[in-house]
């Protein structure tokens, strides 16, 4: 990825909603517009399936996926699963299209009448502004989502109990579920075989508990901010919240694929076809063991496999956003790999490393090892200086030049050197010049007044004597 494909938010160009992570109103616009698209698809596709529906063939042989759902809910179905009235299908499709128009108008209103960020708005609209590190506001948003899900679950319960009932595959007709199972112990027994429910009473009773828990959870999250331990252990940022959301959708997708593949109560065979088997080759997939014609897949095959693979990719998206929330960025890793391939491959190198090193003799270079054996630190007799300069057999002392006796420091210059270092080929290439350095130490008793005497004009003069 180059700089042209990366948005300032840090996401690639194809991560559309990433552009709105810090724009609360535009973020709402995007989600409302997506809800409008979903509604438009549901309504339009319902009418499309209705236009090509034939009552002479089973639904699952016609490649239908929406009409079987409506029939399972008891709309327009007679005895033995026969479709006796298609007007409910038409009405439901039109209702979804109208809802899509309302949502689209809402997205347009938010886009044109409100600022991109709601913290710039005044009044009630400002209450809907949110930031990703504001745990309290995010808890309120989560609470409202749970309330909507709970109300949707209760709508299914009321439809089953009071408004026409549901299609019961065990008796082949639509009936009211007037006494759903509310015994908690009976429903708790399904914890080890959740997908084996075989009667509508248990199915509707489970939805009663689910709806109740969702509504209570929504009220709790709206009224009570997240606890400190929750804020310390959960990731409150855009990637973290999206990761948790995608993980929940993935779980729902896997559950739906399993129900669709193996359960003939929630997905009756008269509408979806025979139940399936799960096979694993290169990838796992559901298949119909009774299928005889190549390419003639039933509605159950399409739905089960579509739910499974969509859930799988939702799970990958959850993991991808979770690692981003933790601070890990795959793009930086890919850039490092690309740079490594460029340096180790056939492309041009920024620099070239030395593969082999061969030492070569250079006789024109004099080299002396940087080793010296210090002499005794005991001061010599009749010495009256603060610091004893280093003494060498090869270098005259500055104490003998111009009568300078009190010297703070002395440095010996080695003149006429061409290079600083030569790699020796053998130990015989070293110039074995003995270097004896003697260090003195301050005398034990020094007159403090001598330390502050004015120094001569010439404190230091390098030796210009040619070394032998």
Q: How is 176-237 classified by DSSP, letter by letter?
A: ---S----HHHHHGGGGSGGG--SHHHHHHHHHHHHHHHHHHHHHHHHSPPPHHHHHHS--S
Assess if residue 421 is contained within a domain.
yes
Assess if residue 265 is contained within a domain.
no
Q: How confident is the model at residue 376 (pLDDT cuts 50, 70, 90)?
A: low
Q: How confident is the model at residue 296 (pLDDT cuts 50, 70, 90)?
A: confident
Assess if residue 410 is contained within a domain.
yes
Instruction: With H, G, I as helix, E, B as strand and everything else as coil, classify residue 81.
Output: helix
Q: Cα-Cα-Cα-Cα dihedral of 105, 106, 108, 114, to 10°?
A: 150
Assess if residue 294 is contained within a domain.
no
- Enter the pTM of the model: 0.68
Instruction: Give me the pLDDT at residue 47, please.
Output: 97
According to DSSP, the residues that pair with 68 across neighbouring strands are: none
**Which of 390, 399, 385 lies closest to 443 in space, CA to CA?**
385
* Angle subtended at Cα 450 by Cα 448 and Cα 451, rounded to the nearest 5 degrees: 70
Query: Which residue range forms the structural domain that includes residue 428?
Result: 354-468
Residue 245 has pLDDT above 90, yes or no: yes
Instruction: Give me the pLDDT at residue 4, please.
Output: 46
pLDDT, greater one: 455 or 60: 60
Number of H helices, E strands in the chain: 11, 6
φ, ψ of residue 6 to 5 degrees: the values are -105, 125
Q: Mean per-residue pLDDT for 1-25?
A: 67
Assess if residue 121 is contained within a domain.
no
**Range of weakest confidence among 123-137, 202-216, 234-248:** 123-137
Mean pLDDT of the chain: 80
- Residues 93-117: pLDDT tens digits? 999 999 999 999 999 999 999 998 8
**Number of domains composing the chain:** 1
Cα–Cα dist 142/219, whole Å: 10
Structure tokens at 144: 């409202």
Assess if residue 386 is contained within a domain.
yes
Q: Where are the beta strands (DSSP E) in 336-414?
A: 373-374
Assess if residue 307 is contained within a domain.
no
Instruction: Give me the pLDDT at residue 181, please.
Output: 95
Q: CA-based Rg of the chain, rounded to a whole angstrom?
A: 43
Structure tokens at 419: 């290079």
Cα–Cα dist 267/258, whole Å: 11
According to DSSP, the residues that pair with 12 across neighbouring strands are: 6
Assess if residue 379 is contained within a domain.
yes
Q: Mean per-residue pLDDT for 292-301?
A: 82
């Amino acid at each position: 990825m180059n700089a042209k494909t990366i948005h300032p938010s840090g996401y690639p160009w194809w991560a559309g909603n990433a552009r709105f992570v810090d724009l609360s109103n535009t973020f709402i616009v995007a989600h409302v517009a997506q809800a409008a698209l979903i509604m438009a698809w549901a309504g339009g596709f319902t009418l499309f399936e209705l236009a090509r529906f034939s009552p002479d063939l089973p639904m699952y042989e016609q490649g239908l996926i929406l009409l079987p759902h409506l029939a399972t809910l008891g709309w327009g179905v007679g005895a033995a699963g026969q479709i006796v009235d298609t007007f409910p299908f038409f009405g439901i499709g039109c209702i979804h299209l109208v809802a899509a128009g309302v949502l689209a108008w809402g997205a347009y209103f938010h886009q044109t009448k409100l600022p991109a960020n709601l913290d710039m708005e005044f009044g009630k609209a400002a209450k809907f502004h949110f930031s990703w590190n504001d745990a309290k506001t995010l808890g309120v948003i989560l609470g409202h989502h749970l309330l909507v899900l709970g109300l949707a679950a209760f709508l299914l319960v009321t439809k089953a109990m009071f408004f026409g009932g549901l299609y019961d595959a065990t008796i082949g007709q639509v009936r009211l579920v007037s006494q759903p199972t509310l015994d908690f112990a009976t429903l708790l027994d399904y914890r080890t075989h959740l997908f084996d429910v075989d009667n509508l009473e248990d199915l509707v009773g489970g939805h009663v508990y689910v709806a109740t828990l969702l509504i209570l959870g929504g009220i709790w999250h709206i009224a009570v901010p997240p606890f400190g331990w929750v804020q310390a252990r959960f990731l409150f940022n855009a990637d973290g919240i999206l990761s948790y959301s995608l993980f929940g959708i993935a779980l729902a997708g896997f559950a739906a694929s399993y129900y669709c593949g193996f359960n003939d109560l929630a997905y009756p065979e008269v509408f979806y076809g025979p139940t399936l088997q799960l096979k694993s080759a290169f990838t796992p997939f559901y298949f119909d063991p009774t299928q005889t014609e190549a390419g003639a897949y039933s509605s159950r095959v399409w739905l089960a496999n579509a739910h499974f693979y969509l859930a799988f990719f939702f799970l990958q998206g959850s993991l991808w956003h979770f690692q981003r929330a933790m601070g890990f960025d795959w793009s930086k890793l890919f850039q490092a790999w690309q740079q490594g391939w460029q340096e180790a491959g056939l492309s041009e190198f920024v620099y070239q490393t030395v593969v082999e090193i061969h030492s070569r003799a250079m006789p024109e270079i004099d080299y002396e090892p940087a080793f010296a054996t210090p002499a005794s630190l005991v001061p010599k007799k009749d010495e009256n200086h603060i610091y004893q300069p280093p003494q060498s057999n090869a270098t005259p002392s500055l104490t003998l030049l111009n009568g300078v006796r009190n010297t703070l420091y002395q440095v010996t210059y080695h003149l006429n050197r061409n290079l600083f270092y030569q790699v020796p080929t053998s130990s015989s290439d070293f110039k074995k010049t003995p270097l004896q350095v003697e260090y003195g130490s301050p005398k034990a008793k020094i007159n403090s007044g001598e330390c502050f005497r004015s120094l001569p004009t010439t404190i230091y003069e390098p030796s210009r004597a040619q070394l032998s």
